[in-house]
Amino acid sequence: SPMERSGLFLIGKWSKRQGAEDGYLCMTAFRVPQYHAVYIPEGTIHSDDFLQGSWKTILPTTAKEINRVRICAESSTDNEGGYL
């Protein structure tokens, strides 16, 4: 079906347990139907790397630059461990 061929879109947010100093990353993935759009506000943790097929991306003319980042645990001391 077209939904199965669309791949997955990931979105997440940092969350804190009540009374805890450390936080954790909550993530979910969902399918986007063909010919539909998803609005993602600036600064939103997300990944479209798992979408399949051709997709159009529209950026505002005020967009600064597009950044790709690795999200690491604070305790990570090397490049092998600690990546979330």
pLDDT at 83 > cutoff 60: no
- pLDDT tens, residue by residue, 29-42: 999 888 788 888 87
Residue range 31-59: mean pLDDT, rounded: 82
Q: Which two tokens stand for residue 45?
A: 């943790």
How large a percentage of the chain has pLDDT more than 90?
A: 5
> In whole angstroms, what separates CA 75 from the centre of its chain?
22
pLDDT at 46 > cutoff 60: yes
pTM above 0.85?
A: no
